[in-house]
């Protein structure tokens, strides 16, 4: 199967919380990342978490890591229309600089 898997699409209403999920297969992953891609733009790093952490919070963003289940999630509180984008989960494996990306989750925020 794929190294990193994400659901393709998520739709939420403005003001609600969004939760984007990701699963990965390599237990040796050291860092896990969330990137945001707006239409026609490159990828923008949102946040990252080290594999020995289980939670990281940064303003409206909360990252949860369940290393046992190899599951990563990104929660966006008070989702705004400006949060509409594609969100990519990525892992960095031990000894490698390159990242392995999931296929991305398109978040649509309804006004």
Partner 1 sequence: NAGVTQTPKFQVLKTGQSMTLQCAQDMNHEYMSWYRQDPGMGLRLIHYSVGAGITDQGEVPNGYNVSRSTTEDFPLRLLSAAPSQTSVYFCASSPPQQGLRDTQYFGPGTRLTVL
Shortest distance (Å) from residue 68 CB to partner 1: 21
Q: Which of 63, 65, 74, 92 binds partner 1 (CB under 8 A)?
A: 92
Q: What is the DSSP string of 42-100?
A: -EEEEEEEETT-SEEEETTEEEEEETTTTEEEEEESS--GGG-EEEEEEEEETT--SEE
Q: Which stretch binds partner 1 (CB under 8 A): 13-21, 53-61, 67-75, 91-99?
A: 91-99
88 by Cβ neighbours in 10 Å (0-12 / 13-18 / 19+) ranks as buried
Q: Which of 7, 12, 31, 56 binds partner 1 (CB under 8 A)?
A: 31
> Rule CB under 8 A: which residues touch partner 1?
4, 8, 30-31, 33, 35, 41-45, 48, 50, 88, 90, 92, 97-104
């Amino acid at each position: 199967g794929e190294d990193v898997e994400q659901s393709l699409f998520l739709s939420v209403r403005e003001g609600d919380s969004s939760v984007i999920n990701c699963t990965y297969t390599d237990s040796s992953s050291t860092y896990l990342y969330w990137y945001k891609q707006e239409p026609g733009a490159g990828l923008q790093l949102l946040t990252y978490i080290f594999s020995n952490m289980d939670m990281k919070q940064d303003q409206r963003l909360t990252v949860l890591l369940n290393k046992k289940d190899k599951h990563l999630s990104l929660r966006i509180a008070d989702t705004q229309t400006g949060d509409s984008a594609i969100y990519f989960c990525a892992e960095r494996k031990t000894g490698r600089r390159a990242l392995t990306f999931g296929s991305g989750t398109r978040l649509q925020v309804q006004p």
